[in-house]
Every structure is written in structure tokens, then in C-alpha cells.
A and B are shown apart, each in its own frame.
Chain A
Amino acid sequence: VTVAARPAGWVRALVIILGAQLLFWSLYGLLVLGLREAGARDDQRLPAAAASLAVEPGRAGAFVANLSGPATLRIAGWQPVIVSPGEAVLLSRAEGGAASGARLLTCLDGPCADAATAYAGPIAQMRQAAAVERLQRYDMVWLAVAQAMILGVALLVLLPVNRNSRLQAATGVFMILVGADAWLTAFGAEALPYSGFPLLRYGVEYLMLAAAAVSVNAFAGWRPREGWAAGVCVAIAVVVLLATFLVGGRFDVVTAWLDAAAMTLLTGYGAVALLRMARSAPGPAIRVLALLMVGLASIVFDLFLFPPPSRFVLQASVLAPPLTTFGILFEIALQGRRLNQEAEGARSDLERQVLEQDASLLRSSQLLRHQERLIAVDAERQRLLRDMHDGVGGMLTHLLLDVRGARLSPQEIEHGLQAAVDDLRNMASAIDTGNEPIDEALAMFRERMAGRLARAGIAFDYRCILPTPAPSLDARRLLSLYRLLQEGVANSLRHAAPSRIDLVAEPAGDGAIRIRLEDDGAGFAPDGAAGSPGEGRGLANMRRRATQMDGHLGIESAPGKGTKLVLTIPTAA
């Protein structure tokens, strides 16, 4: 894979390097074309142009390029004028027209620079040429300062977007320092005329170079030790500057040495970092190489093709720093994109995990619900078994034992079986009617008993004066109620020979209900009921049922006065 990838990598590197060159030089060409149009032409150079100037029909003007201060311009046949750097002046013809023969240009603050060149021609063209020079010499510096500052501040402010990337922070600080350094170099001496100014100026410069080193470090894969090394270098430079200031030594000598050392260190470090990156991150390394090649090409272009003082319209190296800035921004944007992709990847990874967890939670909750259901079903079966044991089971067992002992008459056997079937129906009804209104449950009980009692000549009346909807009992308590009533009716039938039985349900206050079962039969003395074993067991059974449903059973009876069972049951409603 690596063998196959290598040629593709080289092609890619070549494309990137050539592309950067193409971009740079086409931009440069466009700018040069634009500026040349606006600038002064070579045939307008003085003193040669003086001849054509004499026949100039419109207003004539003059402009001196590369002036360092105000100067006097004398042209034969024209009035002498004072020209300032970056300014065009109007010319007026001299009376008499005698040639003065004096020097063309005389600078007021000492000798003029070699590059100072005077032009004359139509005033409009001269003004344009002056504007271009102003732009190059002054406005461009301000533009560069402002651009570097704004970019640096923007990078720092936008740090959170790139998750506080080290590269962005270092580059932001570097750009701010570049702006400060450019301002100090161009205008600082005039704006801050203090003896300590060189300290500030060169301090900022070395700090800027250190920031550049830190930026390179961050870009090539952060190494803390190299970051500390840059800090130590700055500290040494500051100490040397301070010593120079205190001793009163010459700054220009010291900074020449310091500059040389710093540039050597930075260049060497840059080369090392680039090699490091070529191994770890070939893509960015190639892009950096492409930018370096552009910078190198621009310097070579300036130095060898148009060496000073000829000074071509625009130095190519002036254009290299903006391109570098553009490259750095591009890298930061790429890094931000990669970070976002990583974050997105982490997020979708997390999402997948959450989904998996959800699914497994659902599975376990389903399992749990299934188990709960099994437990509930099991509890229900146990309850059913207990109910069978407590009622029909016991009845049938007793009946079986009695029949085996031949102690029962056919009628007694029939009664016993009837009681067992009744109990089964009570169980079925309690299962069906549990948690349904109690008035319906009692109506069903009456329905079950009505036919039999009617044939025995007993009127069975049921009245319910509970509010609707009536409260309800759960299946367990309802079964206890059914069994209690069944026992009560059976007792009446067996012992009391009544003519009527009344079943009444009524409210008993505090949400409780009172259920009365009354007959007009023989009655008995409740205290002496224990004397008759069968009857005593019946009463005890009924009390047990009442306790099972958290209720209270009152038995009122006296011989000849009928029997009254009063059951009070608390209800939830």
C-alpha cells in the first residue's frame, strides 16, 4: 500500500507546490499590471522629460518618488517648488524662461536618497503616481498592522470554536505581535520618542519570533519541551537587551547579533519541525513547504531580477506574508473541520451506544415484566389453591369421611354436595366480580340463592341503599363475604325455619359499608351457642371470614326473635 501510495503522494505534493506558486505569481502579476497603469512612466523622468513638458497643453505637475523628507525641485523654465514625500505639486512657468543650471533636487534634511527620482507630466498622472507611492509606503503598513491585529484578535476570540486549539492560540498571539512589531518599526520611533523605546521595539520583535516558534511547534505536533525552549530564548534576549540599555551600549550592534542568532534558530527549528511533520503529517508539511517555496521565490525575484535601487513597481516579497496568513487560516480551518469530524464521530458512537443500551434495557425490562407476570400468576394460583382448600376442599373431605362412616342420610349428603357446588360458584363469582361494584356482587348472590329459598317457601329480599357507584371489594375479600353469607343462609335454613330472609347493604359512615342478613326464624342465645357443636363451628367460621376481610361481625339473636348478622367492612372508596 505504501509503495503504491508514494508516487501519488509525490504528485500531490508537486501539484500543491506548483499550485501555490501559480496562485502567488498570478496575483502578483495582476497587482503589478494595475499599479503600473496608475504609476508614472519612464519617459516622464526628469530631467529628460523637461523638453516634452514645455509643450504640455494642460496643467503640468511634478512628483518625486522615494523621498525621505521635503525637497526643493528646480526645473529649467519652471518656478522652483517644494515637494513632500508621496505628494504631487503643480508647476507654473517661470517668467523670462532662463535656465538656472542649478541642481534638479535639493533635500532639506541632508542629502537625498539615491533612489529619489523626479517625474513631471500632466498633474492628474502625477497625483496618481503619488497616491500609489503613499499606498505602498504608508497605507500598506497601516493595512498590514490592522490586518494582523484583527486577525490575531479574531483567532483568540474564536478559540472555543476550535476547542481552544494550541495552534490557533499561538497563531493569534503571533499575529498580534506581528502587527505591534510592524507599527513599532514603521512609526514607533516618531510616536514614542523615549530612551527606552528600543527595549520595547526589540522585545516585541523577539517575543514575536518566539510566538512564531511556538506556532510551528503547535503545528508540527506539540512538544512541551520545545515550547519551554522558545520561552528561555526570549528570556535570554530580553536580559541581553536590558543589559545593553543599562550599560548604555549600542542597540544596533547588539540587535544585529541577536537577529542573526534568532533567525538562525528559528530557521533551523522550522526545518527540524518540517522534517518531523513530513513523517507524522505529510499533508500539512507539504502545504508549509509550498508556502516557504513561495516566500523563497519572492525573495529571489526581488534580489536577483530587480535588485535595489532599481526597485520594480511592487516588491514580490511584500505579497508573501498575506499569502502565509492565508495559508495559516486555511490550516486552522482544516484543523477545526477535523476536530468537528472527530466530535461528530464521537457523538454518533455515543448515540450507537445509547441505542444499544436502550435495546438491552428494553430486553431486561421485558424479561422483568415477564417474570413479574409469572410471579403474579403463581401468587394467583396459590391463592386459588388456598381458597379451594379453605372452602370446597374441606367440605368435600368432611362429606367423604362422613359418607365412609355411614353417618349421613341421603338428604344430608345432598345438602353437603349442594354446599360444595355453592362454594365453587362463589369462587367463580368472586373471580368474575372482584373489584366490581358490591351491589352487583350481592345481587348475584341473591340470584344464586333465590330459586332454592323460594321452593322452601322462604322469601328472600335484597335491598341496597348504597350510593352509586357502590364501592367494591377485591376478589379475596369478596369470596370471604360470599362464604360468610352462604354460611349465614345455610344456618338459617338448617336451624331457624324462617319465613323470610332479608339482605340489606347500607353505608356505615367513614366509607365503610354495613351488610345485614336477617331472618325471622327461631333464633338462639348467642352465649350458649357453643353448647351445640355444629352451630358453634358455624359461628366461629363466620367470624373468621369477617376477620379475613378486615371486617367486624355482630350477631344479634335471642330464642324466638330471629337472627340478625351485622357485618361492617371498611372499603377503600
Chain B
Amino acid sequence: VKAGVVIVEDDPIVAAHVGRGVTAHDGLALVATAGGLTEARSLLDRDADIFILDLGLPDGSGIELIEEIRARGGRQPKILVLSVLGDQDTVLAAVLAGADGYLLKDVDSLDIGQQAADALTGGAPLSPSIAAYVLRHLRRQEGRAKAEEAEAVLSPREVELLQLLARGYSNKAAAAEFGISPHTIGDHVKSIYRKLRVTNRGEAMVQAFRSGLLHL
């Protein structure tokens, strides 16, 4: 059974490029392509397995869409964000809102399919850049208010894992460093994502404002 993919991207060239990558992969099937928020919302009931979405949409921000998907409950699809530069503000806003990762828009279409499939199996670790961005975000928060979100803080082990991943360690290398199985590393990563999603909704909005993805 192929996993269903929904693409939300207003630029038809990029949408077509990503679509080619999805259809070229054996395990993926393109369910639909949306050019804006409204159209994407009508697709939420289609039970897609992966959303690949752009943040800067003509009728709103992809951040809002991520929030809505994560707020639905039930089976949670994977969400990958399309980014031109993979810069900190954009990626962090998406990750804090609940995205699982990001794709650079110019990546080879073969790689797009592979990375989407990796996200689906949960095998993909946090990329070094996401790990580094999240670490910096945590450090900034720590400097700002200590007690405020005490329950939100990651465990020391998770922070240590983030540091290893930010330094470019692969899942396997990190597992060797910790003396545990790579599978357990995957569990840690899932836990990190879960905590970030639960506790950083507001922060995601702040980041989105900063990067110009949200306007008032």
C-alpha cells in the first residue's frame, strides 16, 4: 500500500517538481496538490500520510495549516516543510508548530521522494541543522525565563542527543556513543518532537512573525 502525499505549494513549478519526486518513489502516491490554505483545508479529511507544504502561501501561512493538522487528533500525518534557504527562523517556526522536517526546494526530485519516505518510516534522525536550531532555541528560552516552562524542558539525555546530532552524528554514531540501539535513538527523537509540539505553540508564532511568515 502506497502512502498518500498531499502537496501544498502555490508555485506550480515547485509543486510539479515535488510531485515528480513523489510519484517516482515506489512507496508514495500523490493524493492531491493544493495552491493555498483554503484548498488545503478541504483536503484535511483525505487522510493523507504526508503533507509537504510551503510556509508562504497566498492566503495565509503554512504555520496555521500545521497547527490545524496537529490540532485534529486521531492519526497524525508526517509534515515536511519546503524551504528555499533552510534558514533558522523559517525551519524553527515550522518545527515548533509541529513539522517533522524540511526539504530544500531545489533538491533533486529523487532525493525528495527518498526523504519523504524516510520521514514516514521514522528512520530519519533530526538533521544537524534542526538539532542546532532547536538547541539554540532552548538556550534562548533558558536565558529568558527559567521557571516559566519548567515542565517543558527536555531531559538531559535528550539535550545531549540534540548536541550530538547538531555536531553531525548519525543515528548510528549517536547510538554507539550512548551505548544503546539506534531504535531507541528514534524513540528519543520522537519524544523530543512531542515535547516541542506540546510546549512551543506560542513560540512558533513568534518565530513565524520574526521570519515574516505571519502578518497581522
**Given A436-B132, A436-B136: A443 and B168 interface contact (C-beta under 8 Å):** yes
Contact of A440 with B86 at beta-carbon distance under 8 Å, contacts A451-B107, A455-B110 already known: no
Q: Does A439 have its Cβ within 8 Å of any Cβ on chain B?
A: yes
Task: List the A residue with the shortest CB-CB distance to B90.
Answer: A428
Describe A's contact surface by its main secondary structure: helix
Give the docked Cα–Cα distance between A443 and B131 (Å). Answer: 11
Contact A428 B85, CB 8 Å, known A439-B167, A443-B167: yes
> Considering residues A421, A451, A462, A464, which has the most beta carbons from chain B within 10 angstroms of its beta carbon?
A451
What is the CA–CA distance of A418 and B108 in the complex, to the nearest angstrom?
A: 11
When the two chains form their complex, are residues A455 and B128 in contact, meaning their CB atoms are under 8 A apart? no
Q: Which residues of A contact B163 (CB under 8 A)?
A: 468
**A444–B128 contact, CB under 8 A?**
yes
Contact for A432 among B88, B104, B108, B111, CB less than 8 A: B88
Contacting pair A432 B87 (CB below 8 A)? yes
Residue of B nearest to A441 (CB): B132
Chain B interface residue bracket vs A? 20 to 34
Docked pose: A421 CA to B84 CA in angstroms: 9
Q: Is B200 an interface residue (CB 8 A)?
A: no
Is B129 in the interface zone, CB < 8 Å from A? yes
State how many angstroms separate the Cβ of A444 from the closest Cβ of chain B.
5
- In the complex, the chain A residue whose C-beta lies closest to that of B107 is A451
Chain A residues positioned under 8 Å from B88 (CB to CB):
432
> Does A452 have its Cβ within 8 Å of any Cβ on chain B?
yes
Is B106 at the interface (CB under 8 A from chain A)?
A: yes
Question: Which chain A residues numbered 398 to 447 have a C-beta less than 8 Å away from chain B?
Answer: 418, 421, 424-425, 428-429, 431-433, 436-437, 439-440, 442-444, 446-447
| Inter-subunit contact A440/B128 (CB<8 Å) | yes
A448 interface residue per 8 A CB criterion: yes
Q: Does B127 contact A (CB under 8 A)?
A: yes
A425 B85 Cβ-Cβ under 8 A = yes
- Least CB separation from B105: chain A residue: A421
Complex interface: chain B residues within 8 A of A447 (CB)? 127-129, 168
Question: Quick one: which of A418, A455, A462 contacts B168, CB cutoff 8 A?
Answer: A462
- Does B116 reach chain A (CB closer than 8 Å)? no
Q: Which of B13-46 contact A (CB under 8 A)?
A: none
- CB neighbours of B168 from chain A (8 A): 439, 442-443, 446-447, 462, 464
For this complex, into which size category does the number of interface residues on chain A fall?
A: 20 to 34
For the complex, what is the distance from the CA of A452 to the CA of B114, rounded to whole Å? 13
Q: How far is the CA of A161 from the CA of B132 in the complex (A)?
A: 70
Least Cβ–Cβ distance between B125 and chain A, in angstroms: 11
Nearest A residue to B106 via CB reads: A421
Distance to closest chain A CB from B123 (angstroms)? 16
Task: Tell which of A446, A451, A452 touches B128, judged by Cβ atoms closer than 8 Å.
Answer: A446
Bound-state Cα–Cα, A371 to B84, Å = 34
Q: Distance in Å from the Cβ of A445 to the closest Cβ of chain B? A: 9
In the complex, number of A-B residue pairs with CB atoms less than 8 Å apart: 56
- A446 contact set on B, CB distance < 8 A: 128, 168
Query: A421 — nearest CB in chain B belongs to which residue?
Result: B106
- Of all chain B residues, the one with the shortest Cβ separation from A461 is B168
Best-surrounded residue of B86, B128, B166 (most CB of chain A within 10 A): B128
Q: A439-480, CB under 8 A of B: which get 1 and which 0?
A: 110111011100110010000001010001000000000000
- Find chain B residues with CB under 8 A from A464 CB: 167-168
How far is A425 from B85 in the complex, measured between Cα atoms in Å? Answer: 5
**B68 vs chain A, min Cβ distance (A):** 28
Cα distance, A436 to B168, chains bound together (Å) = 14
CA distance A442 to B169 in the complex (A): 12
Cα A262 to Cα B60 in complex, Å, equals 106
Q: How far is the CB of B92 from chain A (nearest CB, A)?
A: 10
Measured CA separation A447–B136 after assembly (Å): 18
Over the window 155-168 of chain B, the binary record of Cβ atoms lying under 8 Å from chain A Cβ atoms (1 yes, 0 no) is 00000000100111
Report yes or no: B86 in contact with A428, Cβ–Cβ below 8 A.
yes
Residues of A within 8 Å of B166, CB to CB, are 440, 443
Q: Which residues of B contact A440 (CB under 8 A)?
A: 128, 132, 166-167
- The answer to whether B87 touches A452 (Cβ under 8 A) is no
Expressed in whole angstroms, the Cα–Cα distance for A338 and B104 within the complex equals 82
Complex Cα distance A447/B133, Å? 14
Chain B 98-141, CB within 8 Å of chain A: the 1/0 string?
00000010111011000000000000000111001100100000
Q: A440-B132, A444-B129, A464-B167 are in contact. Are A451 and B111 (CB under 8 A)?
A: yes
Q: How many whole Å from A219's CB to the nearest CB in chain B? A: 69
- Closest chain A CB from B54 CB (angstroms): 17
Which of B107, B132, B133, B136 has the most chain A CB atoms closer than 10 A to its own CB? Answer: B132
Give the nearest-CB partner of B108 in chain A.
Answer: A455
B145 to chain A, nearest CB (A): 22
B132 touches A433 (CB 8 A): yes
Q: In angstroms, how far is the closest chain B Cβ from the Cβ of A424?
A: 6
Residues of A within 8 A of B111 (CB): 451, 455
CB atoms of B85 and A443 under 8 A apart: no
Contact of B86 among A448, A452, A455 (CB under 8 A): A448
Enumerate 24 A-B pairs (CB-CB under 8 Å) in ascending A order.
A421-B106, A428-B87, A429-B87, A432-B87, A432-B88, A432-B133, A433-B132, A437-B167, A439-B168, A440-B132, A440-B166, A440-B167, A443-B166, A446-B128, A447-B128, A447-B129, A448-B86, A451-B111, A452-B108, A455-B108, A455-B111, A462-B168, A464-B167, A468-B167
Q: Which residues of A come within 8 Å of B, CB atoms? A: 418, 421, 424-425, 428-429, 431-433, 436-437, 439-440, 442-444, 446-448, 451-452, 455, 462, 464, 468
**5 additional A-B residue pairs with CB within 8 Å, beyond A443-B168, A455-B111:** A424-B85, A425-B86, A447-B127, A447-B128, A468-B167
